[in-house]
Amino acid sequence: MERRPPMGDRTGYRLVKLGDAMLSLAEETLAPLGVKSKHVHVMETLLTYDGLSQQDVSRILGIDPNVLVGVIDELEDRGFAERRRNPEDRRRHLVHVTDAGREAVETSRRLLGAAEEAFFAVLDPAEVDTLRDASDRLLAAHRPGWQSVDC
């Protein structure tokens, strides 16, 4: 007889476990590129909103500023991002994705897209749409502004 984990009947617990599984899959998928999902997340944000400060990225992604400094340092070390002085405020820096970073993001999009498609292959397309719709509504209700960012 197969048993569920003690909290296995809780929807929230199941969502956490699915999130863990997706994060593990993403990390495994990105490992050959020498990046982690956090790196891609930051670069995708920088590509979407050109010329952001570290503080802007921290606010948009909800990442502690001290943690973000380390992530950007890692991106710079790999040649995927660079800090440049803000021409409007020489005391501040803006972070930009390099050409190598853009290439890494494009490759990660393809790899992560294929991995996600395989992960959700046990569901039919209508179920995936339902899951996406339900998660959109839950995020909108509990993480106001998650879909729109005011830069």
pLDDT in tens, 85-94: 988 888 888 9
**Nearest residue to 33 (alpha-carbon basis) of 83, 85, 102:** 102
The yes-or-no verdict on residue 52 having pLDDT over 70 is: yes
pTM for the structure as a whole = 0.84
pLDDT at 151 over 50: no
Q: Residue 150: what pLDDT?
A: 47
Going along the chain from its start, the domains and CATH numbers come out as: 35-118 (1.10.10.10)
CA distances, 144 to each of 61, 103, 132 (Å): 13, 32, 17
Token duo for residue 21:
């599984």
Residue 122 phi, psi dihedral angles, 5° rounding: -75, -10
pLDDT for res 146: 64
CA dist., res. 138 & res. 151, Å (int): 23
Give the C-alpha separation, 131 to 151, whole Å. Answer: 29
Q: Would you say residue 16 has pLDDT above 70?
A: yes
